[in-house]
Amino acid sequence: MNKALLVVDYTVDFVAIDGALTCGEPGIALEDYITQLTEDFLKQQHPVFVINDLHEKNDPYHPESALFPPHNIRGTAGRNLYGKMNDLYKEHEQEIMWMDKTRYSAFAGTDLDIQLRARNISEIHLTGVCTDICILHTAVDAYNKGYKIFVHQGGVASFNPSGHDWALSHFQSSLGATVIPN
């Protein structure tokens, strides 16, 4: 089965202690797992996508502007991948596909589905943040598009612990996803 790794929103703004909309310690704790998983996918020559929020400064028309503080603003260091993932991306920039998204789901307003289908991908592996927001909405869209979904429990986190737990359960019970335990 052809598979791909999706690393969603693992950026400074979402992970660093001083990030604009941070998961903090739970997000930081993912660093080694996500980096190692990415290296494994690259070694096995499976596609890796990093898909990150892109927002414009003071955008009054974006719905998240009323929900969250400004984050992942174009041209800011907050959009960089966090820690070791940033280093790995720089080392493998030609192999890792970067995508910008402006909504929760990595499929909304991107050509992710086209890129996956062009590579005959039928199985996606999800990592990143936030479990109950962008990972969840990406998983729902993947389900609706017919992908087999794997969520790496050791590779997802949220700033909302109860939302994180609920989403892990929802992936299995409502989306038929496989949650790979820590």
- What mean pLDDT is predicted for residues 109-135? 98
Asked if the model's pLDDT at residue 151 lies above 90, the reply is: yes
How many CB atoms within 10 Å of residue 165? Answer: 13
Contact of 107 with 142, CB cutoff 8 Å: yes
* 64-79 residues labelled b (16+ CB within 10 A) or e (exposed): beeeeebbbbeebebb
Contact of 22 with 142, CB cutoff 8 Å: no
- Digit-coded pLDDT (tens) for 90-120: 999 999 999 999 999 999 999 999 999 999 9
Domain definitions of the chain by residue range: 3-180
How far is Cα 23 from Cα 28, in angstroms, rounded to an integer? 8
3-180: which CATH architecture?
Answer: 3-Layer(aba) Sandwich (3.40)
- What mean pLDDT is predicted for residues 62-80? 91
- Digit-coded pLDDT (tens) for 1-59: 699 999 999 999 999 999 999 999 999 999 999 999 999 999 999 999 999 999 999 88
How far is Cα 143 from Cα 175, in angstroms, rounded to an integer? 6
Contact of 49 with 147, CB cutoff 8 Å: no
- What element of type H or E holds 67? none
Round the CA-based radius of gyration of the chain to a whole number and report it.
15
